Amino acid sequence: MMKYEAMVFLTVHKWAEALYVTTLDDWFRVVNQLEKFAMTGAFKMRGRFRSHRERSDWHYSGTFFWFRHAHVFSRSWRDVPQFYCGVEAWPGTLFPAEETGCLFLDGIRDLPYLDRFWRGRGALALKTWLAARQRVPVPDDLSHPLLPALESGPRLELAAGEFDWLLSQLLAADARQILTIGALQGGIECWLARAYHERGAALELTVIESNPLPELPATLAEATNRFGAKIKLIAGSSHSGAVREQLEPPFDFVLSDADHRYVGARADLELARAVNARYLALHDILDSHWHVQCRCCVSRLWHQLKDTVQTCQYGSGNWGGIGIATLK
């Protein structure tokens, strides 16, 4: 963007925002395109351009594109043109236009970072695209979760069966010191305290929550008073040095269900190792349409862990999934 800032600052922003929106905010459209084509992207331009040294007769303006690995890596994918705009030219060196799709505005010839483009067809086309955009619906058991044994209590952000499975794994491992990352309203913490109390088992919970809901302190206090669990709440990010200084390791189990970015899940793995945890449990490990729409990348870390340490997992469906990795 810095290349054009002095000349077309506002319209370059429009172009960049449209690239993000049209390639990331309608996952169903992306899936449908990739079922038919090797690649797909936004602003598919036709014609040979001198800036691309006429290497191809089409390209995605802005280099926002998706592709199928099986198709791309069966071609000469390493041969990226070695000049400015080479990445834009690269898809056209692999596939003819007919083997590729388009998510937004196919066949354009006007440069989409110029004002006349947006005054012409650009603004109206984006408005039409937004009106037709499809969103992945919230899974039913996420919007209306069932509670363990149909009893009353705080909401659980878990799919059906996940809590019972997690509890069985914790009890089998004789986990007594547990660190949870991402408590929201304290559902998991309260139900764990109840379950341990019913089995006559001692429980020490340390809870990290970066944005505590108003009801969280009261829920944790009730869990302490009713079920005898020792609970410590730390407000802040698990990535924060100040928060980590308040931890009192070792922990038997770390449950991560807060920052679902890859970098966030990876940081929680490093934290679990730093506090000498025996196990790390990750929630939302499934690859699903809902997770993609929510920018959840926990599955990426989970697949890496499965290749390196002993793991077990539970869950199937369109969201959720819990995986437990043995760290020591």
Strand pairing category for 104-108 and 39-46: parallel
- Judged against a pLDDT cut of 70, whether residue 308 lies above it is answered with yes
Q: Write out the E strands in the chain.
A: 39-46, 58-60, 65-67, 104-108, 177-181, 204-209, 230-235, 253-256, 279-283, 311-314, 322-326
Domains of the chain: 5-132 (no CATH), 140-326 (3.40.50.150)
Average pLDDT taken over every residue of the chain: 93
- Judged against a pLDDT cut of 60, whether residue 209 lies above it is answered with yes
Rounded Cα distance between 90 and 68, Å, is 15
- Judged against a pLDDT cut of 70, whether residue 3 lies above it is answered with no
| SS3 (DSSP) at 174 | coil
pLDDT tens per residue across span 173-207: 999 999 999 998 999 999 999 999 999 999 999 99
303 contacts: CB under 8 Å, gap ≥ 6? none
Instruction: Retrieve residue 210's tokens.
Output: 């970066």
Instruction: Retrieve residue 90's tokens.
Output: 């690269």
Instruction: Retrieve residue 189's tokens.
Output: 């913490």
| SS3 (DSSP) at 214 | coil
Mean pLDDT on 312-326: 93
Query: pTM above the 0.85 mark?
Result: no
pLDDT at 11: 87
Distances in whole angstroms, Cα of residue 83 to Cα of each of 53, 65, 92: 9, 19, 15
23 contacts: CB under 8 Å, gap ≥ 6? 30, 41, 42, 64, 65, 66, 103, 104
Among 144, 215, 158, smallest CA distance to 191 is for 158
Mean pLDDT on 300-328: 94
pLDDT tens per residue across span 171-181: 999 999 999 99
> For residue 268, with 0-12 CB atoms within 10 Å meaning exposed, 13-18 middle and 19 or more buried, which class applies?
buried
Q: What is the CA radius of gyration of the chain?
A: 25
Strand pairing category for 58-60 and 104-108: unpaired
DSSP string, 32-60: HHHTT-SEEEEEEEES--GGGTT--SEEE
Rounded Cα distance between 152 and 149, Å, is 9
51 contacts: CB under 8 Å, gap ≥ 6? 84, 85
DSSP string, 89-140: HHHHHHS-GGGB--SEEEEE-S-TTSHHHIIIIIHHHHHHHHHH---PPPPH
pLDDT at 145: 78
pLDDT at 48: 84
